[in-house]
Every structure is written in C-alpha cells, then in structure tokens.
Chain A
Amino acid sequence: MHDDEELLTALGEAIRAREAVPEWFVETGKNAYAWHNIDAELAQLTYDSDSDGDAAAVVRSEAASIRALTFTSAQLSIKLEVGDGLLLGQIIPPQAWTLEVHTRAGVASSPVDEIGCFAVDPIPNSPFRLRCRAEDGTDVLTVWITL
C-alpha cells in the first residue's frame, strides 16, 4: 500500500511536469524537425562579444554598442557586427555566395559582394538563421541567432 502511495505521487509529479510546459514551447520543439532533412552543414556560434570578458570590454570602450559574433563550420566562417541599427556581415572565404535570411515568418535573400560582405536590413527582431550557398555545392546554415 505504501508503494502504491509513492507510485501515485510519482505519477502525479510526472503528469504535472508535462502540464507545466506551455504549448508554444512544445511547438518550438516540434517545428524544429522541418530542418531535419536539410542537407546543409551547421555553423556553430564560436564567438560572441557579449559572452567574452576581455574582448567585450575592448569593444565597448571603443564603440559603445557594437556586438560581434562569429559562426564557424568546416567550410567557412561568418562574422557579424551589430550596432547603430545595422547588421553587417562577412563570409570567409569570399566567393559567389547566395545568402538567405531565414526567420519563422519566411525567407529573404541578401546580396553578397565580391569580398564576402553583406548587410541584413532590417535587423530581424525575432530569431533567425543564415544560409550560405555556393555553386560548388557548399551549403552552410547557422544555428538560430537572437540579437
């Protein structure tokens, strides 16, 4: 009987733990599967001035509100700088890149110049990710970015 009591308590806790999660949070998880079959290489966040002690202090003293981010995959890196209402970036190495900005609302493309520089305008106010593709089949996607 005592065991039954404990099992029932544990069951209650398990049910409530699931009920405590709001639906939008569950949906975020379920929707992520849309990316499952995209055959792009993932670029991880490898640098964020907001998370880096020394570098952040230097950047902040020079220009009050510039935030720098770097995303890296085996094939390329993408540098982003955010400040003064502008989001500028550079893809290294430079080549004829096609750049897409993916948000939950949809996809927009941005031109990339011959040295790999681009601007995203307006700055997305919700999470977004960048996808870089080239003629040679390179296809790289960043993790979700929130500015």
Chain B
Amino acid sequence: MRDDPTVVALVTRAAGSDPTAWKEIVDRYVPLVWSICARFQLGNSDREDVAQNVWLLLAEQLGKLREPAALPGWLATTTHRECLRVVTAARKTERLGTGLDDALQFVDNTIVDEEILMAERNAALRAAFAELPPRYQQLLAMLAKDPPVSYAEISATLQIPVGSIGPQRARCLERLRKSRALAALSEGEVDVNWAGGERRA
C-alpha cells in the first residue's frame, strides 16, 4: 500500500491547488477519522473539533508529507492524537480520574493498525465500486445490503429475471476485482484476504 499511486496523485494534486483532489481525499478517508472519533466515544461537538484540526493540519502540511502514500497512517495518528487531547481535557473538567490515564484505555496500536488497513481497503473498494457502470452498482449495492435483499425483490426492482441474478452477480464481482483501484491494493505490500483481514506479504 505504501505506493498506492492513487493516493500519491491525490496528495500531489491537492498540494497544488486542486479542490477536487482535496474533496476526493476527504471522501476516501473521512470514515477513518469518523471511526476513530467513535471509538473514543466523542460527542458531536468534540468530533467536529477533532475533524477541524485534523483536516486543517492536513491542508497545511499537504506539500510537506514525507510519504504521501502513507496518508491513511498520518490521518489515523493525527486523529488519534486529537481525540486523546479532547478526551483528556473533558475528563479533567469533569474531574473523572486522572484524565490521561483514563484516555489511554482507548489506545491500542493493534487496533490503530487495523483501522488503517481497513480504511485503505474500504477506500479501494469504494473507488472500484464507483468505477462500475450504474447498473452493476445498483445490483451490487442491493446484494451487499445487510440484512440481504431477497432475489425476488432485486428482480422486481431492477427488472431482471431471478435466474440471471446469480450470473450477473458473478460478472459484477469479477469486474470489481479487476478494477484499477483494487489492483493497486493487491499489488501493494498487503495481501488482501477478503475474509476481512489482511496479512503482510
């Protein structure tokens, strides 16, 4: 993942003056920032505070990132630090425990590493999904729902025979797997195992 060309290109463009690239960066990684805030159980105003500082720092340091491809890691670390700051301040004010000690319960490097890998994988999956033709997207979106949508309902909504959903599903997934975004993911250091985890290659 270190050399994901998409991320490097986005960072380079945003470091110039390309607001579209910036929006794409935010779209890709905003779930990572959000999920870390959620793990820290922050309220909405604290989440806004954290988000503001994280994205602001990024906007200002875009051109100075030593390793643009490591952007997800940078975002995770920065979000983590900002969350710790907010939690520590809040605990102090409420005089709950010693602040930092309490806040440290949220720190677990293994979890952070997993969050980063997950964010990279999810971003690649969404990018791959966005490259698909609209009809493929519709079908996959319905098939990927939790709880699952029945074939009968899919058939009625998308006007396709129940019998052809299976074969179409296979074609859509094949196309998804071969997309540029997912190819970049699997060529990297991380060997993706679709069961939900990754192993280092």
Contacts and interface: CB of A to CB of B under 8 A. Distances in A.
A66 interface: no
A9 interface: yes
A36 B62 contact: yes
Contact of A9 (B33, B54, B99, B196): B196
Contact of A7 (B19, B59, B176): B176
Nearest to B196: A10
Interface residues of A, number: 39
A91 B17 CA distance: 32
Contact of B169 (A4, A35, A51, A143): A4
A7 B177 contact: yes
Contacts of A51: 85, 88-89, 92, 99-100
Interface stretch (A11-19, A108-116, A130-138): A11-19
A121 interface: no
Interface residues of B, number: 57
B85 A25 contact: no
Interface string A39-58: 00010010010110100100
Given A42-B60, A53-B98, A10 B121 contact: yes
B55 A17 contact: no
Contacts of A18: 27, 30-31, 122, 126
Contacts of A30: 22-23, 26
A28 interface: yes
Q: Is the interface of A mostly helix, strand, loop or mixed?
A: helix
Nearest to B35: A17
Contacts of B26: 26, 29-30
B145 interface: yes
A18 to B, nearest CB: 5
16 contacts: A3-B194, A7-B173, A11-B176, A14-B121, A14-B126, A18-B27, A18-B31, A21-B31, A28-B51, A28-B52, A28-B55, A29-B55, A33-B22, A42-B57, A50-B93, A53-B98
Interface of B: 14, 17, 19, 22-23, 26-27, 30-31, 33-35, 45-49, 51-60, 62, 85, 88-89, 92-93, 98-100, 118, 121-123, 125-126, 129, 140-141, 143-146, 169-170, 173, 176-177, 194-196
